[in-house]
Amino acid sequence: MELHDSPDGHPGAPGGVTSPCAMVMFGAGGDLTKRKLMPAIYNLAQTHMLPLQFAIVGVSIEPYSEDEFRDRMTSDIREYSVDGVDMSVWNQFVNRLYYVSGDFQDPALYKKLGETLARVEKEQGTSGNILFYLATSPVFFPIVVKQLGAAGLARQEGRKWKRVVIEKPFGHDLASAVELNRAVGEVLEEKQVYRIDHYLGKETVQNILAFRFANGIFEPIWNRRYVDHVQVTVAEELGVELRGGYYETAGALRDMVPNHILQLITLCAMEPPISFEADSVHDEQIKILRAIQPMSPERVLDQAVRGQYAEGLIGGAHVPAYRSEPHVAPDSQTPTFVAAALHIDNWRWADVPFYLRTGKRMAERLTQIVIRFRRPPFVLFRKTLVEKLPPNELVINIQPKEGISLRFEAKIPGPIVRLGAVNMDFQYSDYFGTTPSTGYETLLYDCMMGDPTLFQRADMVEAGWTVVQPILDVWKALPPRDFPNYAAGTWGPSQADELLRREGREWRNPEPAQGRRSDPSAVRSAPSAAPVRKP
């Protein structure tokens, strides 16, 4: 692991090494630490983004000694590193790992933590800068923050910074989000709080703003005059795995919509900010959230769909129904699928529906944004055999392969006029290569650099829950009668298709695997109408 010198106490320069700091991981014995956070830290070091004056302090209930914690992290990094580990390099880093054991509710833990941080600052030269990462159950978020405040560990003095990273979910409804914001705000300044959503660490998500505002050919048509509608799909092949206990209290709506999906929608719909400063970007995002039309109970019934997966086939293998998963009630009413139509009531987007859907055990792992443009006038083709003109589409693929695709109509070469759909595809890996990534590297780097652009501000969190709350209220009052209502391995319940079909639209689903071209750089042409001879 390669660590690099950074001026003591000074913020890292943009695009360079971060300032010296210690990273305190609450929940260091959990899955998030070993699967995502430690591999991300390793990747940052390998790309020369971490200073020599850097250390990690693990905090958890498990009674490890410091040596046992180091051995555990060594074993975990071997197993979970994205692109393998150079152990000779990793071994140089082991002595920068520290550990404190205790109960998160016990003030004695924070006294021990303070003593350990003082030792770390002396031994590793971290300059008193500390990044606290709450990789814990949400129930501990206010507890840990309060204890950090009581112990004086969150207090900023001089040029020494203290920042706290809070994982989602940030609340489970509007009231709890407001209360959590209040509890955090009693201890921390807003600029110290980083509400993290790993989806925003994806390169394509960040590229939405660059794509929109750095290319003059797209922004002029990015509005209600040219766009028919927008689709946002976040689909997962996986079920709830061993997270049934958590998922029973959350469900697809709480788990994905107030954070992941609404963040994607705001980035697609926002007006150009005056700069890439965090507050400038957030100010435009919050305008979009506040412009989303509130959903009345009648509208919820008409424009929101919920589902729960039954047993089915994924990749040719049988998978169980949600109600048969571990830690799930046999008569569970928890939705594992959500679809809805949202409307943004402003000058740019009035009358343009934003359709969203997300679900577990769907046909394919896929996160994409589809901008479907309005159809051109048909008059030119009225006396031909062409039956219709398919709409142009811009597709922003976020996972599993990050890239952008534009579909348009073109004439197929030859003496007869034939139209074919052409896909112009761009994939990041083809142009810029690939780097090992867990999705957390950019976000952790930004936390250490003090850049909150990709994190949610308190008012954004509450505005997101305000959008979702009417749906939660109606669904709580009217339990579903048809669960389970879609088979695992499909694209969700038929009601989601009907949501678009009754307005003359349809979801954009990927082509079946056998129908895809093997060469991603090749151009695909498929006739969209019968041939017509030139007049």
CA-nearest of 333, 223, 317 to 272 is 223
Is 4 known to be catalytic?
Answer: no
Q: Which of 172, 229, 260, 282 is labelled catalytic?
A: 260
CA-nearest of 352, 332, 177 to 268 is 352
Q: Mention every residue, 6+ apart, whose C-beta is less than 8 A from residue 491.
A: 235, 362, 363, 497, 507, 509
**Residues 309, 321 contacting (CB under 8 angstroms):** yes
**Residues 78, 39 contacting (CB under 8 angstroms):** no
The token duo for 127 is 């300059």
Dihedrals phi, psi of 459, to nearest 5 degrees = -70, -30
Q: Mention every residue, 6+ apart, whose C-beta is less than 8 A from residue 267.
A: 205, 208, 209, 285
Per-position b or e across 99-124, b if 16+ CB within 10 A of its CB: bbbbebeeeebbeebeebbeebbeeb
Helix (H) or strand (E) holding 429: helix 428-432
Q: Mention every residue, 6+ apart, whose C-beta is less than 8 A from residue 457.
A: 190, 195, 282, 286
Looking up tokens 């151009």 gives 523
Per-position b or e across 324-357, b if 16+ CB within 10 A of its CB: ebeebeeebbbbbbbbbbbbbeeebbeebbbbbb
Catalytic residues: 260
